[in-house]
Amino acid sequence: MKKESDDALVRDLADGIISGSRAKLARAITLVESKKLAHRRQAEALLQEILPFTGKAHRVGITGVPGVGKSTTIDTLGSNLTSAGHKVAVLAVDPSSTVTGGSILGDKTRMARLAVDRNAFIRPSPSSGTLGGVAARTRETMLLCEAAGFDVILVETVGIGQSETTVAQMVDFFLVLMLPGAGDELQGIKKGVLEIADMIAVNKADGEGVERAKAAASEYRAALHILAPRSSVWSPPVVTISGLSNEGLDTLWSQIETHRTRTTQNGEFEATRARQQVSWLWAMLETRLMEAMKTNPTVAGMLPELEQAVRKGDVAVSAAVGRIAEAMGI
């Protein structure tokens, strides 16, 4: 009987999502975010059910330092896209929320237009769990939004560091927003961010900031020039924009579309998506194995003593790992 009720729930949610029900979409996202085993199984069945309706959206990752104007830019860009007939979902990967609650929860107020746009959907990341867990749920939420008919998915990285690479590995295009006045900022740019950027957009190119933005763009172009391009058909451009006054965003989106056209034509687009799927497989498997280890009663009983022994240097790390693996039967 329970199996029948599970099947009915999955079918009801799938039908609702595919027909565009925002209520069913929200309920489905809550389901995939749940840590309960029963909910996880229902979520897995649901994701399998809606899989044929996914994959058609344009997935764009957006990052930038605090204060660069991500929320304003996303609000304006998203509104431009919905006005042009697109349906836009804004998701977030925010590892800082595991400690502080993060800032994404305020984005519905900062994205004032999208928050009330019927063709837009804003979803904060879960406020608990590791970055890997947050990223997994963001990927699953992305699939649900695609099945619900959202054809543009904007994934914002709110945290810094590993979240940037994580987001880049789940999107088709990775946009890095920068501040004008390149001098000091350029010194602080991590090479890793430049290496994964598909475009750099210098924001706040309005009013007195126009000339500083142009100067910054020149500095960033020089920095990108020394890096080997990751694509045979795409060299990351540097543009100047103003998210506040809606300057340059049409050009920015046109570049993103050009990137998709070129990479689709030479096969890079599908190859990247396939590689991301396999990467996701291994990431989720590692997460699931770690959960299994931590919830194993035998291992749970051993861990405090083993940790203490390793800390004191009485037991080699490799030996400790061996004992845990043996306890788990692997």
pLDDT at 133: 59
**Interatomic CA distance for residues 167 and 16, integer angstroms:** 28
pLDDT at 33: 87
**Interatomic CA distance for residues 261 and 255, integer angstroms:** 10
pLDDT at 276: 93
pLDDT at 100: 46
139 contact partners, CB below 8 Å, separation of at least 6: 170, 280
Output the six-digit token pair for 196: 């994964």
**Interatomic CA distance for residues 74 and 90, integer angstroms:** 8
pLDDT at 2: 58
Output the six-digit token pair for 310: 């390793």
**Interatomic CA distance for residues 255 and 197, integer angstroms:** 13
pLDDT at 190: 60
pLDDT at 148: 97
- What pTM value is reported for the model? 0.87
pLDDT at 328: 87
Residue 56 — φ and ψ, nearest 5°? -95, -15
pLDDT at 36: 87
pLDDT at 78: 97
Q: Write down how long the chain is.
A: 330
* Residue reference for tokens 């740019």: 189
Low-confidence stretches of the chain (pLDDT beneath 50): 1, 98-105, 127, 187
Measured between alpha carbons, how far is residue 128 from residues 26, 102, 125, 136, 271 in Å? 18, 11, 9, 12, 32
92 near 104, Cβ under 8 Å? yes
**Interatomic CA distance for residues 107 and 71, integer angstroms:** 7
